[in-house]
Amino acid sequence: MKISSYKDNMAGEKMYKESYYNYFLEIDEVPVLVNLRTGAIAEVKRENVQKIKEILKGNIVDEELFEQLKYGGYIVEEGYNEYEEIKMRNYKARFDNSKAMFTIIPTFQCNFDCIYCYETKRNKIMTIEKAEEIADYIINISKNKKTISIGWFGGEPLMNFKVIEHINMKIIGESEAELFSSMSSNGYLLNYIDVSKFDELKIKNVQITLDGIEETHNKYRPLIGGGKTFDKIIKGIEKLFENTEKTNVSIRVNVGPENYDKIEELFEYLEKFPKERMKIYFRWIFQASEKNKDFHVHVRDFRKENSFTKLSKLYEMAINRGYKVMLPILNGDMYCEFDNVYNMVIGPEGEIYPCTVAVEEGMEMGKIENGKIKLETKKHLKWHSHNGYEDKNCKECKILPLCHGGCRNAALNGNRGCPEEKRETESFIKLWYKVKKFEKKMVVR
Ligand code: SF4
Ligand code: SF4
């Protein structure tokens, strides 16, 4: 076989180099080549491993493999600036105003007293008059847009369901853009409202948190004043599936030392629900309420160094049982939706917050009044001033194409905000590969 360097022999022709974002790993005894910039994941035949390593070093020992590696972005033209490409994709996403996206908090009130809740329970609740103004504003600025996306958040948003109905129905009736709505709810009140309206209200997804089985969930997520919530939530989900055709459910499981070993049992409760209408995801508990200040320290001590590897075992458990999952840091070209300069959270009095975690008093950066928005430019600029693409460490980071500089709320509070996938990138890639493999051949059991 002719071995020639693609750097030496290309006088007048294109020269190539290996991508900065490649990972070549052995996963379950299969060689896997991943590129984090393009998202390409390839299983490599064992007999091709050496040839591929040679090509990545600069020796074209196989023209066909060379072409395939080029196609997957594992090799790029010598002068190609991969960093500039991901930076441009990120800037496009951050300044994209082709979609109208809002998160609305119809109330800060909540019927739960979760051990890790960071929200300071406030009594603010949106009136129908304010809802009318907010809907007017949304309809007005969504002219010429194809879609409007509204995420309902709280407090517990179902404690003010009439406002949800009012805003969604007004938009459906008066805007030419198509509405896609979702909701983060604790699920308890699904038992007390007419959930059959969700299809008409275009509520396509409800995210509900279940923290393991009954025993641990009830400990982490009791009612205000005490009281169990697990059974009611399971009944609520059942009712939701029975009474809607188009509403899906995402189950979020907050993981801590008490429920880590009991997650397997949770799947028994979920077996009766339609898998094709569900997704599951897992997150470590990362905050604690004022009165449970030491709780996150307790969780941190449990997570230790191999924190992501620990979490990925739960994901594997879920896919092995046939559930679709949502992995962290795979949010396209931004770290999170609140990197987009037009995306914002609207509070019960029309006040504007930068993201769903930054909703404490003093974080307001504007207000919607009389159907118009007044933004405090100084605060808005400050929120969007964090830019991983101007940060020396981020520029050199191999997971920049997925992370894009991390959480801007953390950055504003003086932390780098590197996700744990940074420390355990190989573990993350292994899980990502398994999920992709599963998605391709997923059979609904
Ligand atoms: S992991 Fe950390 S260093 Fe890397 S891009 Fe994200 S925030 Fe920057
Ligand atoms: S805390 Fe960070 S990642 Fe979470 S919503 Fe706010 S900005 Fe986004």
Instruction: Kindly compute the dihedral angle of the four CA atoms of residues 344, 104, 347, 95, in this order, to the nearest 10 degrees.
Output: 10
The domain boundary, picked from 356, 374, 392, lies at: 374
Residue 257 lies in a domain: yes
CA distance 89 to 82: 11
Q: What is the mean pLDDT of each run of 10 residues along the chain (445 residues)?
A: 46 82 96 96 95 93 95 95 98 93 96 81 89 96 94 96 98 96 97 97 96 87 92 96 97 89 90 95 74 69 82 94 91 94 96 94 93 94 95 95 95 88 93 91 44
pLDDT for the residue numbered 247: 97
71 and 194 fall within a common domain? no
DSSP annotation string for 345-391: EE-TTSBEESSSS--STT---EEEETTEEEE-HHHHHHHTT--GGG-
144 and 234 fall within a common domain? yes
Q: Which atom of ligand 1 is nearest to the CA of 400?
A: 5
The domain boundary, picked from 374, 395, 429, lies at: 374
The count of residues in the chain is 445
Q: pLDDT of 144-178, one tens digit each?
A: 899 999 999 999 999 999 999 999 999 999 999 99
Instruction: Kindly compute the dihedral angle of the four CA atoms of residues 347, 348, 349, 351, in this order, to the nearest 10 degrees.
Output: 0
Ligand 2 proximity of 363 Cβ (cutoff 6 Å): no
Q: Which atom of ligand 2 is nearest to the CA of 407?
A: 2
CA distance 419 to 424: 9
Residue nearest to atom 8 of ligand 2 (CA): 336
pLDDT for the residue numbered 445: 36
- What distance in angstroms lies between residue 407's CA and the mean position of ligand 2's atoms? 5
Residue nearest to atom 3 of ligand 1 (CA): 394
pLDDT for the residue numbered 168: 98
- What distance in angstroms lies between residue 42's CA and the mean position of ligand 2's atoms? 31
Residue 175 — φ and ψ, nearest 5°? -105, 145
Residue 380 lies in a domain: no
Residue 89 lies in a domain: no
- What distance in angstroms lies between residue 358's CA and the mean position of ligand 2's atoms? 8
228 and 254 fall within a common domain? yes
Global pTM value: 0.91
Question: Helix or strand or coil: residue 102?
Answer: strand
Query: Angle, to 10 degrees, between the axis of helix 128-141 and the axis of helix 161-174?
Result: 30
- What distance in angstroms lies between residue 345's CA and the mean position of ligand 2's atoms? 12
55 and 116 fall within a common domain? no
19 and 117 fall within a common domain? no
Q: What's the domain count of the chain?
A: 2
> What is the span of the domain harbouring residue 39?
4-80
231 and 359 fall within a common domain? yes
133 and 279 fall within a common domain? yes
121 and 251 fall within a common domain? yes
When the pLDDT of each residue in the chain is averaged and rounded to a whole number, the result is: 91
The domain boundary, picked from 316, 345, 374, lies at: 374
Residue 253 CB neighbours (<10 A): 18
Q: In which element (H, E) is residue 171 found?
A: helix 161-174
Query: Rounded to the nearest 5 degrees, what angle is found at the Cα of 50, between the Cα atoms of 46 and 53?
Result: 120
pLDDT for the residue numbered 213: 85
Residue nearest to atom 1 of ligand 1 (CA): 418
CA distance 72 to 68: 6
Residue 425 lies in a domain: no
Residue 67 CB neighbours (<10 A): 12
Q: Which atom of ligand 1 is nearest to the CA of 397?
A: 4
**For the domain that residue 103 is a member of, what is the CATH number?**
3.20.20.70
Residue 379 lies in a domain: no
Residue 339 lies in a domain: yes
Q: Using CB atoms within 10 A of its CB, is residue 362 exposed (0-12), middle (13-18) or buried (19+)?
A: exposed
Q: Which residues contact 426 (CB under 8 A, 6 or more apart)?
A: 23, 25
- What distance in angstroms lies between residue 389's CA and the mean position of ligand 1's atoms? 10
Contact in structure between 431 and 316 (CB atoms under 8 Å) = yes
18 and 137 fall within a common domain? no
- What distance in angstroms lies between residue 383's CA and the mean position of ligand 1's atoms? 18
Q: pLDDT of 180-215, one tens digit each?
A: 999 999 999 999 999 999 999 999 999 999 988 888
- What distance in angstroms lies between residue 410's CA and the mean position of ligand 2's atoms? 8
Residue 25 — φ and ψ, nearest 5°? -125, 160
Q: Which two three-digit tokens encode residue 126?
A: 């949106």
Residue 106 lies in a domain: yes
Residue 113 lies in a domain: yes
Ligand 1 proximity of 86 Cβ (cutoff 6 Å): no
39 and 133 fall within a common domain? no
Q: pLDDT of 106-125, one tens digit each?
A: 999 999 988 878 776 678 99
pLDDT for the residue numbered 111: 92
176 and 317 fall within a common domain? yes
pLDDT for the residue numbered 2: 39
CA distance 69 to 40: 10
15 and 131 fall within a common domain? no
Residue 261 CB neighbours (<10 A): 10
Ligand 2 pocket: which of 118, 284, 287, 338 to mutate (most atoms within 8 A of CB): 338
